[in-house]
């Protein structure tokens, strides 16, 4: 292998690693946000929401 | 604090004396490991002798892990941890006591292992003073870190697998320094081992101090 | 955090009624700053690669291998910076007056970035060592310490993943971080002593006429990857906040999710049954 191959491999690993981690962060954050907006904030009206949900979708 | 430490150490040693888990399980395990190392490195006496110090300390480390887990299990079973908290004993004292009990058991184990290793690996034990001092200092460090991380991992459901991952990297310098000191002693160059003793002493003092101070926080919540 | 969520969302669990209705301008500014950091980091990376691979000349002694120095040392620096921040945040958490779960999240976020940078440092260092020293690995103090750091902080991250009460977990991990961090100088010192025969290779600065551009590229790489680090930590920190919220109200979320995917039929059936 020439020296340049090592250099290229190094850049690929470094930048690829950072890109992968960055992408994973964005994906995880997006997934978390997707789960969170669906929240019913107050637990007390669980029932009410359930009824409404049923009524609306039927 | 010292009074509490003696109480806790006495309790742990009494439990060991009655259950003999260390004697019946940990010691035989360590002997098996010594044998396996012998098999792995082949029957060449020269090679075994060269590696004897390192093999001994890695074996001690593995056995130490089991002893730490045992020491944690003693508190986890039957809510012993809550009992300790309710007892009003000083947290630093509990830490020192548990570490001391662990260290004492490990020292006994090390004596047995050293004799067996000397026989198996054809390594006469020279420089007994340095060997013993290394054992005492290294064991103090191992026991302190072990007790500490044992408590860190104790509250978790994955403690069997988590503990070694936390424990081994931290005690890497102990293995390194103890092996060096032992190699020096075994090759009749005792003077070279003194510096490593110093390093072991620093390690032990640092972790005993941290443990004594921070153990309370762990005990409160874990 | 909770204040941002409208008190009762009768929007049929739907995405239509966005809970982002109340967003303070402070949040907006933080978001904007983060975007700028991200873009600057990205531009910096492109520039570094361009300068590093194409513009800068090969070194008189190291040849093309010098190009690895535009990424490797800055990664190592970021790793140590990350662990330093993690340690400081853990200490802040343990100090009763500054005890705040946000410090715990910062410590975790920084440590995770640190592990990523450490992994890259190890690999790029190895790729440099192979053609330079003829071997992928030497038991050099810095290398060995870095490898141990990697394992130490993998353990720390594993400890963070253990479920439990947030406060308990925060204290546990903060103490764990403290113990791990204190180990670093001891490891470094002992390994140095152990393997003192190997002289750590000093970075030859190269010839003076090309030194300028090379030095500037290296400086750029340090700034760039530090920006990348900041971006990582900020995003991870935000994610940790979201996760904490999710954990705190996990049951409600899970229920909502099941209902959403179960659809009308399941809900109707449920109602008939009850």
CA distance B141 to chain C (A): 12
C104's tokens: 């715990």
Burial (Cβ within 10 Å: 0-12, 13-18, ≥19) of residue B201: middle
Task: Note the pLDDT tens digit of each residue in C107-156.
Answer: 999 999 999 999 999 999 889 888 888 888 888 788 888 898 899 999 99
User: Do residues B71 and B21 touch, judged by C-beta distance below 8 A?
Assistant: no
β-bridge partners, C59? C63
> Tokens 């020296």 appear where?
A3
| 3-state secondary structure (DSSP) of residue B89 | coil
DSSP calls for C194-225:
HTTTSPPPP-----HHHHHHHHHHHHHHHHHH
Q: Residue B188 — very low, low, confident or very high, per pLDDT cuts 50/70/90?
A: confident
Task: Note the pLDDT tens digit of each residue in C123-136.
Answer: 998 898 888 888 88
Chain C: partners with 3+ C-beta pairs within 8 Å: A, B
User: Do residues B95 and B212 touch, judged by C-beta distance below 8 A?
Assistant: yes
Is C15 a residue whose pLDDT tops 60? no
pLDDT of residue C18: 44
Residues of chain B contacting residue C147, judged by C-beta atoms under 8 Å apart: none
Q: Residue C265 — very low, low, confident or very high, per pLDDT cuts 50/70/90?
A: low
Task: Note the pLDDT tens digit of each residue in A4-38.
Answer: 889 989 999 999 999 999 999 999 999 888 877 65
Least confident of B26-30, C19-23, C231-235: C19-23
Rounded Cα gap, residues B8 and C86, in angstroms? 34
**If you measure CA to CA, which chain C residue comes closest to B171?**
C183
Rounded Cα gap, residues A38 and B7, in angstroms? 55
Task: Note the pLDDT tens digit of each residue in B110-142.
Answer: 999 999 999 888 888 888 889 999 999 999 999
Is C27 a residue whose pLDDT tops 50? yes
Mutation test of the interface with chain C: which of B176, B183, B184, choosing the one with the most C Cβ atoms within 10 A? B176
Q: Higher confidence at residue C216 or residue A37?
A: C216
- Total domains in chain B come to 1
Residues of chain B contacting residue C152, judged by C-beta atoms under 8 Å apart: 169-170
End-to-end CA distance of chain A: 67
pLDDT of residue C197: 42
Q: Which domain holds residue B50?
A: 2-221
Q: Which domain holds residue A48?
A: 3-57
Rg of chain C on CA atoms, in Å: 24
Average pLDDT over residues B187-211: 87
- Total domains in chain A come to 1
- Other C-beta atoms within 10 Å of B19: how many? 13
Q: Higher confidence at residue B26 or residue B87?
A: B26
Structural domain boundaries in chain C: 31-199+212-245
| 3-state secondary structure (DSSP) of residue A36 | coil
Q: Which of C159, C161, C154, C156 is nearest to C177 (CA)?
A: C156
């Amino acid at each position: 292998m020439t020296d340049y191959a090592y250099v290229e491999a190094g850049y690929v690993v470094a930048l690829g690693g950072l890109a992968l981690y960055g992408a994973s962060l964005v994906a995880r954050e997006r997934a978390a946000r997707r789960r969170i907006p669906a929240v019913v904030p107050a637990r007390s009206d669980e029932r009410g929401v359930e009824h409404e949900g049923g009524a609306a979708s039927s | 604090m010292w009074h509490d430490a003696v109480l806790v150490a006495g309790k742990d040693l009494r439990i060991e004396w009655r259950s003999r888990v260390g004697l019946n399980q940990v010691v035989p395990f360590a002997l098996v490991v010594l044998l396996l190392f012998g098999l792995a490195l082949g029957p060449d006496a020269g090679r075994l002798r060269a590696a004897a110090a390192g093999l001994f300390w890695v074996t001690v480390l593995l056995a130490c892990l089991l002893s730490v887990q045992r020491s944690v299990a003693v508190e986890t079973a039957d809510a012993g941890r809550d009992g300790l908290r309710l007892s009003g004993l000083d947290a630093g004292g509990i830490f020192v006591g548990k570490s001391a009990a662990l260290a004492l058991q490990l020292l006994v184990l090390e004596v047995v292992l050293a004799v067996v290793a000397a026989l198996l690996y054809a390594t006469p034990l020279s420089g007994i003073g340095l060997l013993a001092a290394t054992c005492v200092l290294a064991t103090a460090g191992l026991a302190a870190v072990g007790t500490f991380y044992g408590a860190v991992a104790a509250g978790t459901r994955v403690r069997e697998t988590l503990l070694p991952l936390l424990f081994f990297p931290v005690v890497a310098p102990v293995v390194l320094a103890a092996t060096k000191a032992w190699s020096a002693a075994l090759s009749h160059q005792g003077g070279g081992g003194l510096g490593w003793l110093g390093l072991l002493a620093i390690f032990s003092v640092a972790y005993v101090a941290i443990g004594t101070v921070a153990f309370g926080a762990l005990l409160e919540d874990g | 955090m909770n204040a941002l969520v409208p008190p009762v969302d009768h929007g049929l669990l739907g995405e239509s009624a966005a809970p982002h209705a109340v967003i303070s301008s402070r949040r907006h500014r933080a978001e904007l700053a983060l975007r700028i950091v991200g873009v600057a980091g990205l531009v910096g990376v492109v520039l570094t690669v361009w300068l590093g691979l194409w513009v800068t000349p090969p070194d008189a002694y190291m040849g093309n291998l010098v190009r690895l120095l535009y990424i490797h040392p800055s990664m190592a620096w970021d790793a140590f910076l990350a662990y330093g921040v993690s340690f400081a945040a853990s200490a802040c958490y343990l100090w009763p007056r500054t005890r705040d779960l946000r410090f715990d999240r910062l410590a975790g976020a920084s440590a995770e970035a640190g592990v990523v940078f450490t992994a890259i440092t190890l690999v790029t260092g190895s790729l440099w060592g192979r053609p330079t020293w003829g071997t992928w690995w030497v038991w050099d103090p810095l290398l060995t310490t870095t490898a141990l750091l990697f394992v130490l902080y993998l353990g720390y991250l594993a400890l963070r993943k253990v479920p439990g009460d947030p406060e308990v977990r925060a204290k546990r991990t903060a103490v764990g971080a403290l113990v791990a961090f204190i180990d670093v100088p001891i490891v470094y010192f002992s390994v140095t002593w152990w393997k003192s025969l190997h002289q750590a290779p000093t970075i030859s600065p190269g010839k003076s006429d090309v030194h300028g551009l090379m030095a500037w590229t290296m400086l750029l790489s340090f700034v760039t990857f530090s920006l990348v680090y900041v971006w990582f930590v900020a995003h991870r920190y935000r994610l940790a906040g979201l996760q904490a919220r999710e954990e705190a109200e996990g049951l409600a979320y899970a229920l909502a999710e099941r209902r959403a995917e179960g659809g009308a039929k399941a809900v109707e059936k449920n109602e008939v049954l009850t």
